[in-house]
Amino acid sequence: MAQRHDGFGVHPSIPFAAPDGRGSGSVPNNMDAFWMPFTANRQFKKAPRLFVGAKDMHYTTDDGRQVLDGTAGLWCVNAGHCRPEIVKAVQDQVAAMDYAPAFQMGHPGAFELAAQLSALLPTGMDKVFFTNSGSESVDTALKVALAYHRARGEGTRTRFIGRERGYHGVGFGGISVGGIVTNRKFFGPMLAGVDHLPHTHDKAHQAFTQGQPEWGAHLADDLERIVALHDASTIAAVIVEPVAGSTGVLLPPKGYLEKLRAICDRHGILLIFDEVITGFGRLGTPFATDYFGVVPDIITAAKGLTNATVPMGAVFFKNAIYDAFMTGPENAIELFHGYTYSGHPLATAAGLATLKIYKEEGLLTRGADLAAYWQEAAHSLRGLPHVIDVRNLGLIAGIELEPIAGKPTARAFEAFLRAFDKGLLIRTTGDIIALSPPLIIEKDHIDQIFGILADILRDLP
């Protein structure tokens, strides 16, 4: 065994062959140190699946295979992998200035990126606060919502309303308003004063719907029940994903978001859209607010903001929220919140280069041109073994499989493994396959994605 000692410890490196042939290749024999997120660590480390390169629509594995990216990484590589323009922008920036503090100092890139982003947003939503992830964006939105009501003399508004099966990242605020049970149950009581709306999916009424379901707008009315229970004077904000992605692609029924907006307006409650997934072209419009024609008070974003090249998130606020803080002496700090890496120079360089690609290649609206073809391909899986629902919107699809009795998640995860072996990256959550490809996808890629899935489903136990 070859060993290397560099003052920090001994690092053995030996050829590694996975027992079942999946992901075999030459990898370092020091995998134990990394505690992987949202991963069955013991299972993975017995049979690693490693990527070592990426370009456009494909990853390259450690054993040299090409894998078609059906998930844009994790819903985030919207412009495709390793775009030269973004790579160069980051390289140039790190050579010029690696870091600049965001507290009481600034650098031009952060202001320019904020200005360009605000131009994409609905009129009157011109203020941008930079974070480093979707989780931080959500916690920022929640904190600002609390502080906004306090600044207006309504400090009793401290309660948040989330939604069952909602995903809002992994900060304590995000898991508190989130509604995915496995993300919540291990971590104690979380934030107090949180209630949840029912989720929007009902297979009995919505199975195999193409696009938005006709049934379910009335589910928004449950917000009135919650308001009556707690009193509007105690509620700060309602937070929902316009399209719930991480839980398995749950679509808003027609009229549902409009009802939420009206109820929030009636009771002086802020409406927050978590657009970490739906932002930056996923539905064929710049943001979901454009697609649905419903304007929230706050939008959280991340993922596609920098094409995932450098971690970055953002929160967009209506001007009235920002203005509520701009009182008192001019030398006083208005908001005691922020991050060491807010508006990081490398992230802003990546963001600016990404927005340029989106504009020049029309990627923020390209999904609309492909949506019908994508929809037809997704619903071609109907009738195949184990498929109990297919749902889609824009360039998102969810294929729900019947669980194996006593083994929830096992069937979809086996599909994930088989897809990887056949050269396709998919994502699974529970027994649902979720697809969200890079926006540069072509029709032949769509054919390949659903052709591979069809073959897998025909043979899946």
339, 416: one domain: no
Last residue of some domain: 336, 361, 386? 361
315 φψ region: left (φ > 0), alpha (ψ -120 to 50), beta (else): beta
Q: Is residue 321 part of a domain?
A: yes
What pLDDT score was predicted for residue 367? 98
- The residue among 361, 383, 407 that closes a domain is 361
Pair 144, 239: CB distance under 8 Å:
no
CATH number at residue 147: 3.40.640.10
Q: Is residue 230 situated within a structural domain?
A: yes
Q: For position 449, which CATH number holds? A: 3.90.1150.10
CA nearest neighbour of 159 among 240, 232, 266: 232
Same domain, 91 and 116: yes
Can you give the residue range of the structural domain that contains 389?
A: 50-81+363-459
Strands 58-61 and 66-69: antiparallel
How many alpha carbons lie under 13 Å from residue 26 in its C-beta half-sphere?
5
Beta bridge pairs of residue 315: 129, 300
Does residue 186 lie in a domain region?
yes
Query: Hey, CA dihedral for 23, 24, 28, 32, is it positive or negative?
Result: positive
Beta carbons within 8 Å of 175's beta carbon, 6+ residues apart: 168, 169, 183, 184, 187, 190
> How would DSSP label each residue in 90-119?
HHHHHHH-S----SS---HHHHHHHHHHHT
Q: Are residues 146 and 57 in the same domain?
A: no
Residue 231 shares a structural domain with residue 367: no
Same domain for 331 and 208, yes or no, is yes
- Is residue 117 one of the residues assigned to a domain? yes
Count of domains forming the chain = 2
Task: Confirm whether 150 is domain-assigned.
Answer: yes
Does 16 map to a domain? no
Do residues 432 and 401 lie in contact, with contact meaning Cβ atoms separated by under 8 Å? yes
Its pTM stands at: 0.94
My answer on whether 288 and 183 are in the same domain is yes
As beta bridge partners, residue 238 has 161, 271
Count of residues in the chain:
461
CB atoms within 10 A of CB 156: 13
* Residues sharing a CB contact under 8 Å with residue 182, sequence separation 6 or more, in sequence order: none
Is residue 288 classed as helix, strand or coil in its secondary structure?
helix
Whether 325 and 373 map to the same domain: the answer is no
Spatial distance between the Cα atoms of 168 and 137, rounded to a whole number of angstroms: 9
List the one residue out of 394, 201, 179, 198 whose CA is nearest residue 292. 394
pLDDT tens string for the chain (461 positions)? 344 445 555 444 434 444 344 444 556 668 999 999 999 999 999 999 999 999 999 999 999 999 999 999 999 999 999 999 999 999 999 999 999 999 999 999 999 999 999 999 999 999 999 999 999 999 999 999 999 999 999 999 999 999 999 999 999 999 999 999 999 999 998 999 999 999 999 999 999 999 999 999 999 999 999 999 999 999 999 999 999 999 999 999 999 999 999 999 999 999 999 999 999 999 999 999 999 999 999 999 999 999 999 999 999 999 999 999 999 899 999 999 999 999 999 999 999 999 999 999 999 999 999 999 999 999 999 999 999 999 999 999 999 999 999 999 999 999 999 999 999 999 999 999 999 999 999 999 999 999 999 999 999 99
Domain boundary among 304, 336, 361: 361
Q: Would residue 91 count as lying in a domain?
A: yes
Whether residue 355 sits in one domain with residue 373: no
**Looking at the structure, do residues 308 and 341 belong to the same domain, yes or no?**
yes
Same domain for 286 and 355: yes
Same domain, 225 and 258: yes
Sign of CA dihedral 453, 455, 458, 461: negative
Tell me how far apart the alpha carbons of residues 24 and 36 are, in angstroms, rounded to a whole number. Answer: 19
Q: In the prediction, which pLDDT does 26 show?
A: 56
Q: What local confidence, expressed as pLDDT, does residue 30 receive? A: 85
* Range list of H helices, 268-338: 288-292, 319-325
* 242 and 337 co-located in one domain: yes
Give the span between the Cα atoms of 75 and 72, in whole angstroms.
5
In a domain, 42, yes or no: no
